Chain A
Amino acid sequence: MRAPDEARNKEVRSFRTRLFTAIMVIVATLTALGFYLAQRRITADAERNLQQTFKTELSSMHELEQLRHATLAERCNALAGKPRIHAAIEDDAIDLLYPSAKDELRDLMEGDEPPPEQAAQSLHARFYRFLDSTGAVIKPPNASDVGELDAKTEAQLSLNRLPDTQQIGYVQSGGDIQEVIAVPIFSTDTGDLVSALVIGFKPFQLEDKPIGMQSGIWVGGNLHLPALPPSALSSLNEKITRAATDSESDQNYFRVEVAGAPQLLFYKRLNPGSLFPPAYEICIHPIAPWTAQLHRLRWQIGGAGGLLLLGGFIASHFVALRMSAPLKKLALDSEENRAERERAEAALATTAEELERSTRYSADASHQLKSPVTVLRVGLETLLGCEDFRPEVYEQLSGLLHQTHRLTGVIDDLLLLSRMDAGHLRIASAPVNLSQLVDEWLDDLGALPDSPDVKIEKEFPSGLFVAGEKRYTSLIVQNLLENARKYNRPGGRIRVGAQSKGNHVVLSIGNNGRTIPRDENIFERFHHSSTPSVVSGHGIGLNLARQLARLHGGELRLVRSENDWTEFEVRFSAANGVNPAA
């Protein structure tokens, strides 16, 4: 018993381990997935927030810048519409162009540069030039009046054609960047584009930038970000140049390393659609504080994930224990069940063997008995044939002969029973006229020599057919009628009734006589009555009748036994299509 217990425990343990592992794998996977998603979400959120902050700052700056541009453009357009400037261009008096403009632009050019905090409102110009009909700069007669520029800077003011709308541009002059606005000049007479006025300003810069943010301008492949050391500038410049030339978008951002520190770099085209070379506003913002915060958050999430995992570990241990308990019980139960089943099977096999043996024994015994009984009967019949005995001897011989007939009957019954027990009896089903059969047996009953004085009542229609083998059906009827006669009291009655009920034919046989006690099993083989009686049977008739009735698909039962009346009922299968409808 120890070995199966151990094996079973081992199996339960293995199941528990597998369950635990599976739960742990699921918990770990979920935790990892949750960690990954949370981490990704936080990173994305943080990046978006940073971007948002950055964009808000930039857009507020750009709003100011646009406002300034609008003001500048309005001013420039007003200047470009001055009659003297128009007269100089339209009336072929180019020599008067700059002298006339000098008067008109005096307020714009004169005075000192405003302090940076007023740069947005200020309209102080640094220089101005006119473009001829081809877009080239018209040389001023006296550069000191119009803001001096070196040849290289002045060349950047030329456009490949005259602009028909206001253009924003950025030019490099020395180490500085100048912002220029070009406004078209249309002839008041013809409406044709005749010239353009280009006015240069100090680029607009937002002073109250967020902490750490640095801004500059990229134009013509050069980055001007004075706050950065030259070494950092060149590598940054390369990246921006690549981004600006490769990307189709006017604005974008990417991460850069500036002097070993990670930074987020935003760039935005300052002059989209301009005839001047593209210029970009560049803003860099250190992301170290942001990454530190992100790291902290990651650690927090990691810690939470670890705790969750630990909790999962403990929980899954208990869950595995809890879940394997019914399994253990189930294993135990099934083990018991198996043992029980085996025992039952063994008992069944033994019983079958015993039955087989007893059946065989009964059959053998019956056969063995039959021959001596025959010999005995023949001998008695021979003796009865002799005439030299006294009359009392004949009476005794006759009684002995009768006993041999009874013995033969018992042996036949036993043989039949043993054949039934062995399952060798086959019923050849055919319509049997039950009414006729009962009539014949009642006639025989009356003719018997030791018939007591009984009254017979018949209540059945003629021509009731049942399905079965006539021989055995007759045996059933005979057994019941003989019992009714045998156990009747003198002057009693026998009532035989039969009727068709649906698919069955019910035959009932009742008689007066002693009452059969309730607890007496009269259908048991070799049964003997517990109450003393003058008559006795060999105790297999009822058993045989019932077995035969069952073989015919019917049943034999005791309906009642009380108040001097005992009644049996046999149910036969009706012969199909023979009986009239009930």
Chain B
Amino acid sequence: MRRLKLLSLKAVFSFIPASLLASAAVEGRVELPKSRSAPVQAKRYEIVTKAGVLATQPPLAVVYLDGNFSQTASSPIKELAQRDLTFVPALLPIAVGTRVEFPNLDDTYHNIFSYSPTKRFDLGRYRPEERPIPSVVFDKPGLVTLRCDIHEHMRGLILVLNTPYFVMTDTAGRFRLDKLPPGKYTLKAWIDSRTTREKPVELKDGHILHVDLP
């Protein structure tokens, strides 16, 4: 526990200078795909596939600032739970190096694994009371598809990003990224496993840049 506290403190401190320094912000709107009236069964799973493309349902996007950022010392631990035989949240954007815990909130066994090239892992079967909570550190950017060996319909996505500056849009596609370092970057919006939109941006201190990604 002590170690965990230290780590989190360290994370806070490492984050503070940047946030203090960075006062630029970006806001705008991402044009999301039309919300399909997905099959009732599929709705529950939140990650749907059409023609081999994984996306969230309802459509959401992850907007992030792509650039050459120095590796932050550590990232906070994220959580991706299994509840009601689904992954919650269905899509989790994280920065490289983030540890993700996979707590089992159901009354049954789960066996989370990934064969994705970004990160292959297999947590094995575990029950809700399994301690420590099985976790994985994602050290490579990319998309990770999560499956359960026991519940073949379960799908979850982890988007591992090479940046600490990212946010998820609301269902209307609106987003706001604060405390960004000034400079020239590329603003990207991940919409689904095959679609990423981008725009070059120049952030200035104290300015709020409005960027729409149609």
The yes or no verdict on A and B being binding partners is: yes
Q: Are A91 and B52 in contact (CB under 8 A)?
A: no
The reply to whether the CB of A380 lies closer than 8 angstroms to some CB of chain B is no
The reply to whether the CB of A352 lies closer than 8 angstroms to some CB of chain B is no
Interface residues of B in 134-184 (CB under 8 A from A): 145, 147-150, 152-153, 155
Q: How many residues of A contact B (CB 8 A)?
A: 16
The reply to whether the CB of B49 lies closer than 8 angstroms to some CB of chain A is yes
Q: Are B147 and A190 in contact (CB under 8 A)?
A: no
* Closest chain A CB from B81 CB (angstroms): 19
Chain A residue nearest to B153 (CB atoms) is A188
Of B10-18, B25-33, B114-122, the one touching chain A: B114-122
Contact of A189 (CB < 8 Å), options: B52, B114, B120: B52
Interface residues of A in 69-118 (CB under 8 A from B): 81-84, 86-88, 91-93, 96
**Which residues of B have CB within 8 Å of A93?**
115-117, 120
Known: A81-B152, A91-B145, A93-B120. A189 touches B54 (CB 8 A): yes
Please measure, in the bound complex, the distance between the C-alpha atom of A96 and the C-alpha atom of B115, giving whole angstroms. Answer: 8
Known: A83-B152, A188-B153. A91 touches B54 (CB 8 A): no
* Closest chain A CB from B164 CB (angstroms): 27
**Which residues of B have CB within 8 Å of A82?**
149, 152
The reply to whether the CB of A167 lies closer than 8 angstroms to some CB of chain B is no
Known: A187-B52, A190-B52. A91 touches B116 (CB 8 A): yes
Please measure, in the bound complex, the distance between the C-alpha atom of A88 and the C-alpha atom of B113, giving whole angstroms. Answer: 11
Please measure, in the bound complex, the distance between the C-alpha atom of A87 and the C-alpha atom of B116, giving whole angstroms. Answer: 8
**Which residues of A have CB within 8 Å of B49?**
189-190
Please measure, in the bound complex, the distance between the C-alpha atom of A189 and the C-alpha atom of B55, giving whole angstroms. Answer: 11
Q: How many A-B residue pairs have CB under 8 A?
A: 45
**Which residues of B have CB within 8 Å of A87?**
113-115, 145, 147
Q: Are A83 and B51 in contact (CB under 8 A)?
A: no
Known: A187-B52, A190-B52. A91 touches B115 (CB 8 A): yes
Q: Are B115 and A88 in contact (CB under 8 A)?
A: yes
**Which residues of A have CB within 8 Å of B116?**
91-93
The reply to whether the CB of A192 lies closer than 8 angstroms to some CB of chain B is yes
**Which residues of A have CB within 8 Å of B117?**
91-93
Chain A residue nearest to B117 (CB atoms) is A92
Chain B residue nearest to A83 (CB atoms) is B152
Known: A87-B113, A87-B115. A188 touches B152 (CB 8 A): yes
Q: Are B115 and A190 in contact (CB under 8 A)?
A: no
Q: Are B148 and A83 in contact (CB under 8 A)?
A: yes
Interface bits B26-67 vs A (CB < 8 Å: 1, else 0): 000000000000000000000001111010000000000000
**Which residues of A have CB within 8 Å of B152?**
81-83, 86, 188
Please measure, in the bound complex, the distance between the C-alpha atom of A54 and the C-alpha atom of B113, giving whole angstroms. Answer: 54
Contact of A91 (CB < 8 Å), options: B50, B51, B114: B114
Interface residues of B in 99-122 (CB under 8 A from A): 113-117, 120
* Closest chain B CB from A409 CB (angstroms): 149
Q: Are B149 and A83 in contact (CB under 8 A)?
A: yes
Please measure, in the bound complex, the distance between the C-alpha atom of A326 and the C-alpha atom of B53, giving whole angstroms. Answer: 110
Please measure, in the bound complex, the distance between the C-alpha atom of A192 and the C-alpha atom of B54, giving whole angstroms. Answer: 15
Please measure, in the bound complex, the distance between the C-alpha atom of A81 and the C-alpha atom of B150, giving whole angstroms. Answer: 11
* Closest chain A CB from B111 CB (angstroms): 9
Chain B residue nearest to A86 (CB atoms) is B152
Please measure, in the bound complex, the distance between the C-alpha atom of A187 and the C-alpha atom of B49, giving whole angstroms. Answer: 10
Chain B residue nearest to A188 (CB atoms) is B152
Interface residues of B in 76-133 (CB under 8 A from A): 113-117, 120
Interface bits A366-382 vs B (CB < 8 Å: 1, else 0): 00000000000000000
Please measure, in the bound complex, the distance between the C-alpha atom of A92 and the C-alpha atom of B144, giving whole angstroms. Answer: 12
Please measure, in the bound complex, the distance between the C-alpha atom of A190 and the C-alpha atom of B145, giving whole angstroms. Answer: 14
Give the one of A84, A189, A190 with max B CB within 10 A.
Answer: A189
**Which residues of A have CB within 8 Å of B148?**
83
Chain B residue nearest to A191 (CB atoms) is B49
**Which residues of A have CB within 8 Å of B51?**
190
Please measure, in the bound complex, the distance between the C-alpha atom of A92 and the C-alpha atom of B115, giving whole angstroms. Answer: 8
Apart from A83-B147, A91-B115, A190-B49, what 10 extra A-B contacts exist at CB < 8 Å?
A: A82-B149, A83-B148, A83-B152, A87-B115, A87-B147, A91-B116, A91-B117, A93-B115, A188-B153, A189-B49
* 21 A/B residue pairs, CB under 8 Å, sorted by A: A81-B152, A82-B149, A83-B149, A83-B150, A83-B152, A84-B113, A84-B149, A86-B152, A87-B115, A87-B145, A87-B147, A91-B116, A91-B145, A92-B116, A92-B117, A93-B115, A96-B120, A188-B153, A189-B52, A189-B155, A190-B50
Closest 7 CB pairs of A and B: A189-B49, A93-B115, A87-B115, A91-B115, A83-B152, A190-B52, A83-B149
